Amino acid sequence: MTRPVAVVTGGSRGIGAACCRLLARRGYDVAFSYQSDTDAAAGLVAELQGAGARALAVQANMAREIGITTLFETVDRELGLVSRLVVNAGITGKIQPVAEMSAEEIEAVIGLNVTGAILAAREGVRRMSTDRNGLGGSIVFLSSAAAWIGSPNEFVHYAASKGAVNSLTIGLAKEVARQGIRVNAVAPGLIDTDIHATAGAPDRIARLQDIVPMGRGGSAEEVAEGILWLLSDQASYVTGSILPISGGR
């Protein structure tokens, strides 16, 4: 039996890796991109293969068109036609007020989180669209609760980029709804991954969890469950939706 092919951008750690593991367990072959941690990528490939999946790790920069096209062309050759896409690659940028941000820092966040997301979706649509001889499929973007919270004094540029992802989700869903493609997003809240340490706040979960109505941070696995539902045929009449996974925040 042929397994459907799923692609996860930024899949070697955190929410992306949790998605890859769950996809493999649920019957998908999985390809993911990673930036630089070859050991983590190789370890995850071995895990996915152990779960019965064909698995592929592609080192590629998801903020650059050449990296994105390289990922999808490699998947075409090695695994076949993609029908599920998780656009996960993203960065918060350094925690700081807007007055302290450099143009380079802002451009890095927007380049990966917005331009990179649009280009990844473009490659997915080109392969999935029934107007282009594809078989249809499903795309899920990673947004964030930051899009409506605004993240003042932390990363307003990141929040703005996720607001753009919400608009992308809604617009693209309408554009490709009659081409056999569903497009949705999840909006995680305070999730326990290393993204906080990378932003310069390794204690952020412990510091902020009391303001979450549920009183705790979430896990990457909890976010992955929502993503897998949106990707699946169980969500066959769901498109253009943004699913908060934020503990009520």
Residue 120 and residue 111 in contact, taking contact as beta carbons nearer than 8 Å: no
Residue 158: active-site member: yes
Q: Copy the structure tokens of residue 14.
A: 């955190």
Check residue 59 and give its pLDDT: 98
The residue behind tokens 């397994």 is: 3
pLDDT digits (tens, 9 = 90+) for 171-211: 999 999 999 999 999 999 999 876 666 666 677 787 877 88
pLDDT digits (tens, 9 = 90+) for 71-101: 999 999 999 999 999 999 999 999 999 999 9
Whole-angstrom Cα distance, residue 40 to residue 6?
Answer: 19
pLDDT above 80 for 123:
yes
Residues contacting residue 130 through CB under 8 Å, at least 6 positions apart: 136, 179, 180
Single-letter residue type at 102:
S
**45: enclosing H helix or E strand:** helix 38-50
Residue 245 and residue 226 in contact, taking contact as beta carbons nearer than 8 Å: yes
- Marked catalytic residue, from 28, 34, 158, 237: 158
- Domain CATH code at residue 110: 3.40.50.720
pLDDT range class, residue 213, cuts 50, 70, 90? confident
Total domains in the fold of the chain: 1
pLDDT digits (tens, 9 = 90+) for 26-61: 999 999 999 999 999 999 999 999 999 999 999 999
DSSP string, 71-133: HHHHHHHHT--EEEEEE----------GGG--HHHHHHHHIIIIIHHHHHHHHHHHHH-GGGT
Instruction: Summarize the confidence of residues 226-230 as an average pLDDT.
Output: 99
Single-letter residue type at 161:
S
The residue segments making up the domain with residue 171 are: 5-245
Q: Copy the structure tokens of residue 98.
A: 């807007």
